């Protein structure tokens, strides 16, 4: 599931915008993240038992939303953050190139909220022992750090129009009005 989310969100974004910028470095970072997930997921899954899965399934089932016969996995974004993202999107749409860095920082916060609700919190439901928990925390921290550093670097490599495209892409995932 984790690989599917990364691929559906980030790979699609890169492929849709290949004509606007070089995406090689971003694709490499995403591949590193996917490789880490693929390496550690089978290992962590070996510790799953029915007693651990029930709380996880209950937690994840609360994140699902059905809209127009399509199922979406959702997570809450605090209203002030959602408003800031929308305001930043508007500034970018109006041509404010000084907003690029701020808009990508806000996207990092939105993504981190998703990591909290869709990865860190569900991991807690599994009640792993200290060694497994620390290992998975290390993998989560390493992969998110890679992604966040790439977003930070991207703010110096893209123009206002492409930044607006990225922010608008993530706004599509914010299904409720701020």
Would you say residue 176 lies in a domain? no
Would you say residue 149 lies in a domain? yes
Would you say residue 65 lies in a domain? yes
Give 59 or 70, the one with higher predicted confidence. Answer: 59
- Range of 121's domain? 2-171
* Residue 92 banded pLDDT, cuts 50, 70, 90: very high
Q: What is the DSSP letter of 99?
A: G
Would you say residue 178 lies in a domain? no
Would you say residue 28 lies in a domain? yes
Task: Provide the H-helix boundaries in the chain.
Answer: 2-6, 12-16, 24-45, 50-61, 79-93, 100-115, 121-125, 130-154, 160-171
147 pLDDT above the threshold of 70: yes
Contact status, residue 126 vs residue 56, Cβ threshold 8 Å: yes
pLDDT averaged over the chain? 85
SS3 178: coil
* Residue 175 banded pLDDT, cuts 50, 70, 90: low
Total domain count, the chain: 1
Name the pTM for this structure. 0.80
Indicate the burial class of 73 (C-beta count within 10 angstroms; 0-12, 13-18, 19 or more).
Answer: middle
Would you say residue 23 lies in a domain? yes
Would you say residue 53 lies in a domain? yes
């Amino acid at each position: 599931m984790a690989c599917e989310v990364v691929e559906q969100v980030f790979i699609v974004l890169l492929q849709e915008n290949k004509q606007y910028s070089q995406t090689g470095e971003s694709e490499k970072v995403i591949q590193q993240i996917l490789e880490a997930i693929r390496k550690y997921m089978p290992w962590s899954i070996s510790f799953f038992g029915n007693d651990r899965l029930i709380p996880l399934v209950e937690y994840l089932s609360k994140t699902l939303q059905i809209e127009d016969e399509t199922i979406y996995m959702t997570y809450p974004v605090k209203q002030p953050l959602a408003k800031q993202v929308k305001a930043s999107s508007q500034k970018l749409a109006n041509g404010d190139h000084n907003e690029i860095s701020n808009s990508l920082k806000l996207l990092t916060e939105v993504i981190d909220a998703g990591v909290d609700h869709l990865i860190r919190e569900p991991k807690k439901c599994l009640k792993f022992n200290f060694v497994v928990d620390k290992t998975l925390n290390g993998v989560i921290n390493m992969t998110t750090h890679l992604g966040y550093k790439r977003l930070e670097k991207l703010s110096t490599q893209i123009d206002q129009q492409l930044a607006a495209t990225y922010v608008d892409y993530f706004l599509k995932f914010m299904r409720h009005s701020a």
